[in-house]
Amino acid sequence: MMSPGQSCRRRAFTMAEAAVCIVIVGVMLVAVLNAAAFARTVDYRMAMRQRGMLLARELLAEVTAQAYADPESGTAVFGLEAGETGTGSRALWDDVDDYDGLNESPPRDRDGTDMSDLAEWKWQVRIERLSSSNPTLTVASESGLKLCTVIVSRNGQPVARLASVRSAAWIVNSL
């Protein structure tokens, strides 16, 4: 039995211990939320990069499937030939260098139809002649090699860049 001067002391958390626990849990929660937000940002950027790469592949495949030189005239005139309009549609473009300087925002299908949900996207094409003796150098005259470069951007930031070399010796057979 306890004497009247003694008090019964129970063991419990003090306010200080409870406050420390709350601070520790809060710091851990903030760290977890920051990690989740970072992971989500990385996932979003990767998804945008993949979408940009798909767009670049699509346009590069279209460009490189064209003839090296104009099939009607047979000449290697660089750029659009007479009768090939550059307004909206690429349906009349029939050789690789017709695409030089293509700059569309938003990207369009070959028939000129805007691609849906791509308002903040842009694609550009640059065609350059390469030296046949040293393909790392660009030249002004016809050499039999053309470098096709496609750049896809989103909100002004480059997302994807693909390049392919097209040769005059390579012939595309249509099915």
Q: Where are the domains of the chain?
A: 55-167
pLDDT, average across residues 131-160: 91
Task: Convert the pLDDT of each residue in 38-47 to its tens digit.
Answer: 999 999 999 9
Q: What is the DSSP letter of 141?
A: S
SS3 content of the chain, % helix, strand, coil (to 5): 30, 20, 45
- Report the DSSP pairing between strands 103-104 and 121-130: antiparallel
Cα gap 72→95, rounded to integer Å: 10
pLDDT at 111 over 60: yes
Instruction: Supply 2's token pair.
Output: 């306890």
Cα gap 3→26, rounded to integer Å: 44
pLDDT at 29 over 90: yes
Task: Convert the pLDDT of each residue in 35-79 to its tens digit.
Answer: 999 999 999 999 999 999 999 999 999 999 998 888 777 665 688
